[in-house]
């Protein structure tokens, strides 16, 4: 299948493009390079032998999108393009609502215009809000999100559900990621945030190579075994495979379907730090700080539905992800050029 991958040069997008190529699909990449680097395109070619068609466009630009659809005629879209930093979304809410919603609305209007009836959407566990209990099931209601980033994901899920009801020919697969970590084992692709990393794993990796002096752990007074926050960390290579598996759900049975993509296991901040130290033979100095506003104590997935309906199960371990993250950071101390 020819598949448009919006945000296809990003951390998860680029791994997914690789997985699509190795599964015999033809990805076409649209990315505005707001949070990615053009150097990723050459690295995808190095790893796969294929240089996918690349359009440097903003997905909210309907004219540019129409030109792409006219030329490429994609049969499906995997939609990653969007801003994704929780903290930034709290300080810049209008930028997040405008960008994340406008890109999606422009995309859906263009898909309708060109008869493209399949979309896989990159959603997030944050749509569950503060969990009343774990693990979280796809049937759990979308909750009171704790930040504008999460709220845009929740709103887009609702837009897709309503669009599927209105257009009898649209199939939407909504993938709720938990916490993507790790990197491609080659060290050529990985999480390469601009500036100070918001997320835990890239921050640990930068401490490990001496780019940051210590990790700041946001709170050790949560109601968890060691007091630090617990999350469901899934290796980004597994996450990419989950997107290939999700294409099976584009089965012509119209409507919106939701799947959690995680491991089904919770890992605390301190457990991840210790796993990283053990996997790589390094020491990660840290200091305990106050809790971060918007954080929840515990968040992990039930992964039964993806296994039952897609035959999908994450297979890589936390240790694999720690090794791959460190390897990527060592090989790209100043990020991907
Ligand atoms: C994980 C744990 C922090 C940084 C968010 C989004 C999610 C996805 C991933 C995009 C928490 C603690 C973190 C640090 C720390 N977004 N932490 N020190 O907030 O669970 O999820 O990012 O892909 O949709 O909601 O991820 O990595 O920021 O935090 O102690 O320097 O690590 O308190 O317990 P989060 P995270």
pLDDT classification of 130: cutoffs 50, 70, 90: confident
pLDDT of residue 282: 98
d(CA 173, CA 248): 10
Please write the tens of the pLDDT for every residue from 191-232: 988 889 989 999 999 999 999 999 999 999 999 999 999 999
What is the residue with the minimal CA distance to atom 10 of ligand 1? Answer: 84
pLDDT classification of 21: cutoffs 50, 70, 90: very high
Cα 161 to middle of ligand 1, angstroms: 27
Closest residue by Cα to residue 182 from 11, 334, 9: 11
Cα 7 to middle of ligand 1, angstroms: 21
What is the residue with the minimal CA distance to atom 33 of ligand 1? Answer: 218
pLDDT of residue 233: 98
pLDDT of residue 11: 96
Q: What is the atom index within ligand 1 of the atom nearest the CA of 292? A: 33
Please write the tens of the pLDDT for every residue from 37-80: 999 999 999 999 999 999 999 999 999 999 999 999 999 999 99
Cα 4 to middle of ligand 1, angstroms: 28
Residues with CB under 6 A from ligand 1: 84, 86, 124, 126, 179-180, 198-200, 203, 216-218, 229, 231, 269, 292, 295
Please write the tens of the pLDDT for every residue from 244-285: 999 988 887 788 999 999 999 999 999 999 999 999 999 999
d(CA 333, CA 211): 8
Mean confidence (pLDDT) of the chain = 95
What is the residue with the minimal CA distance to atom 32 of ligand 1? Answer: 200
pLDDT cut 90: percent of the chain above it: 87
Mutate which of 176, 232, 269, 286 for ligand 1? The one with the most ligand atoms within 8 Å of its CB, which is: 269
Peptide bond into 135 cis (omega under 30): yes
Please write the tens of the pLDDT for every residue from 32-45: 999 899 999 999 99
Cα 89 to middle of ligand 1, angstroms: 13
pLDDT classification of 238: cutoffs 50, 70, 90: very high
pTM of the model: 0.95
What is the residue with the minimal CA distance to atom 19 of ligand 1? Answer: 295
d(CA 307, CA 113): 34
pLDDT of residue 128: 92
């Amino acid at each position: 299948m020819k598949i448009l991958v919006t945000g296809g040069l990003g951390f998860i997008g680029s791994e997914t493009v690789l997985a699509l190529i190795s599964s015999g699909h033809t990805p076409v990449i649209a990315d505005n390079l707001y949070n990615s680097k053009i150097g990723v395109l050459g690295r995808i070619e190095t790893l796969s032998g294929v240089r996918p068609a690349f359009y440097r466009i903003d997905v909210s630009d309907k004219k540019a999108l129409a030109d792409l659809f006219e030329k490429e005629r994609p049969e499906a879209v995997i939609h990653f393009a969007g801003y994704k930093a929780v903290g930034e979304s709290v300080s810049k809410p209008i930028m997040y609502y405008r960008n994340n919603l406008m890109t999606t609305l422009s995309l859906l209007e263009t898909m309708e215009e060109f008869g493209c009836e399949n979309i896989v959407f990159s959603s997030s566990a944050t749509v569950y809000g503060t969990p009343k209990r774990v693990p979280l099931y796809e049937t759990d209601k979308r909750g009171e999100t704790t930040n504008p980033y999460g709220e845009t994901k929740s709103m887009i899920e609702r837009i897709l559900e309503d669009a599927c009801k209105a257009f009898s020919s649209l199939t939407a697969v909504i993938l709720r990621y938990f916490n993507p970590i790790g990197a491609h084992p080659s060290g050529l692709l990985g999480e390469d945030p601009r500036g100070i990393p918001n997320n835990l794993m890239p921050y640990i990796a930068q401490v490990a190579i001496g780019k940051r002096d210590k990790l700041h752990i946001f709170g050790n007074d949560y109601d968890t075994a060691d007091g630090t926050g617990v999350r469901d960390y899934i290796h980004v290579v597994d996450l990419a495979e989950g997107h290939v598996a999700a294409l099976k759900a584009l089965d012509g049975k119209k409507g919106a379907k939701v799947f959690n993509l995680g491991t089904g296991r919770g890992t605390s901040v301190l457990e991840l730090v210790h796993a990283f130290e053990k996997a790589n033979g390094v020491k990660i100095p840290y200091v305990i700080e106050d809790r971060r506003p918007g954080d929840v104590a515990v968040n992990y997935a039930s992964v039964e539905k993806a296994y039952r309906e897609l035959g999908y199960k994450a297979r890589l371990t936390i240790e694999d992800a720690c090794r791959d993250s460190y390897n990527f950071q060592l090989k790209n101390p100043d990020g991907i050029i």
